[in-house]
Structure 1
Amino acid sequence: MTRLLFTALLLVLYSSAFAKKDYNKPHGHGPVLSPYKPGKFEGLSLNKSEEKKLAEGKSVMKQSMPDPNDPNPAGGAICVQDIQAPLDAVWSQILDLDNYKKKVAKVLESKNYKVAPQKDGKYQIKTKMVMGVMPGYKYTSFYDHTFHPREGSMTWTLDYDKTSDFDDVSGHWHVAEHPSKPDCTRVFYACDIKMAGSVPKPIINFIGKVALKQATSWVKKESEGSPVANLPKPFDSAKDAILSK
């Protein structure tokens, strides 16, 4: 195949994969991955070596244990990170979705289009996010988060009322007091992504491994840099529930 023909073929594949979409249309299907439940990651334990690594400021990758009876289990890697900052300072960063572009590598745009307190004390947060993975590849997706202050968790899926470039997403933040260090927080993060169509291996590697570690490292950096940060305004009423954990 000549270089000119090969280049033309790449352009056709690229244009078909990233053709302009009407993102305001429904996604085309509902959940494929099972959503995470708020609260602790059941069955997850850390050995002495992993505890030592966390104490050194490094993150630890663990495998989640999906329900064997679930036909579409949400399971995969969980990233664990210790942060020298209190619970509310950590949540102030995670909930600051409107400003992820300033703090999180590869995030090109992040904007809430709905923040709604619920009668049961939870919050629904819908967010548009654009992520640039590598030159020529960016993914626009719409997320439907549920913040559970009493459980110390935020879970999310896609907002299926809009079209996203990812085929499906299921994620979970869990933030807890450190088991032995005062004013220190232990953070758990998991996010399962189902890609749409054929995807180059470097992108899969980035999303599956690198992005998972970066998700907790930026929270550590920002939280430790602002250990007395306040919760974003829509969530300030959740502070007591967070600190009661």
Structure 2
Amino acid sequence: MIDVHNLVVQYGQTKILNNLNMQVKRNESCAIIGPSGCGKTTLLYQLAGLRKPNEGKIIINGTTLTDIRDKTGVILQNYGLLPWKTVWDNAGLGLKLRGFSKNHRDNVVKMILTELNVYQQRRQYPTQLSGGQQQRIAIARAISIEPDILLMDEPFSALDAITRESLQDLMIKLYHQKQLTIVLITHNIEEAVFLGEKIIIMHPSNGTIKKIIDNPHFGDKAFRNTTDFHKLCVEVRSEMAGRPS
């Protein structure tokens, strides 16, 4: 699905990503974690086609990525909602930009807002919503285009713990329902362990991948309460800290 080959991204003389290689299979959920400044968000912007690399390439479904893909949905940390547009218009923005008819947009937006339990807020503006509701609108906008890839940049970091877990559960539900391939950028270890079928730990300073951990128990709500979940969190934390687990 996603193949990253020898990716180099630099600002001035500083290499943010340095000969980075990674793969994400179709319908795989990949969590990328690491400290601030390690290149996580830069990598996501590359995968979204928002910036061209200095060297290397990204191949998606056998085609080299050169621009923004119509079938890639993106959810940003600050939600990216337009404050002067209603919930309804924000949710349908991706469809409008892609040239879909108003009738099609209206049908899709109604269905998705209902599915995400925010249809009653359709005439409100983002500032009138809670953080969790705003994030649901951002999710609605991203999945309205029926993406095959969903990219998320620390989407739940500003939310309280209970709301964050609720939306993590929602993402697992959508992942299975819509057969999504997910790449999640996070600094939260528990979130990476719950949502990442593959956990990619970035090196703190040299723009490369330090370690990849396979996690067959991702998305299992009961797994959160087990000693194995805690052990995997300890392993990830130890790798990030540079000490043996």
Q: Same fold per TM (> 0.5)?
A: no
Rg bigger for which structure? 1
Structure richer in helix, relative to its length = 2
TM-score by length of 2: 0.23
